[in-house]
Amino acid sequence: MAYLNANIPATYAQVRREYLYDLSGHMGEAEDCIIFGMASISGSAILFHAIMENGAIFYRLPISAFIQRGFDVKKVPRMRLDELELWNCFSYYPSINTFDILLGQSGKYIGKDKKWYHGTYLFTVDWAHPESNIVDTDHSEIPAEHKCAHIMALENGNYAAQPNNRLIWSIPSFTVKEEVPFDWKVQTSTWTVEDSSKWKTEDTDKYFYDIEEIKDGKMDKNKT
């Protein structure tokens, strides 16, 4: 797991040129770039790093700064950053994965405007806390608060970063049901198998040791 900066799959894209001028001009213009990395700052949107054709690198641009290659920047709809990305980063420690089952698959997310936006999966950003000796001031590992961000290339030319509970994926050979599970509940449980109030191992040096269950505060002699 990286701290602050992380490699991402190299993505050939365009950058809206006004982002290279601090939004002070060059509206409606774009130039080619390669997005190659990201910065995760707790409480901030995901920020991306890109290299331009002149060799210059520009750090920490939001996902709204980029459109896909092959699209006319004047025809790609402008969407607010919060329409493209629902949540800020959950910690300074991002994990980047490209899940094989989703690679190249299409999906759709429901936006704040209640409309569905279609696109193709690129990769996933997730977050965690690195170790117990660092004070955890974030909520990346609280079950009810945790979110990941699936990065998508949208059909309208934009990119998006959306969590699981806003997305429906299409895998033609498997996802054959049409219903959207709007009645599912948020996962709030913490799962563990090492509850010392329920079982203990025998106190020996045996390799294949026995396990005894604890019932009503007493060891059960029925060993496993």
pLDDT tens figures, 129-160: 877 777 776 776 677 678 999 999 999 999 99
- pLDDT attached to residue 186: 83
- pLDDT attached to residue 196: 72
Secondary structure (3-state) at 18? helix
* pLDDT band of 220, cuts 50, 70, 90: low
Chain centroid to CA 26: 31
pTM, full prediction: 0.88
**pLDDT, tens digit, for every residue of 191-213?**
888 877 778 888 888 889 888 88
Nearest to 50 by CA among 37, 62, 68, 63: 37
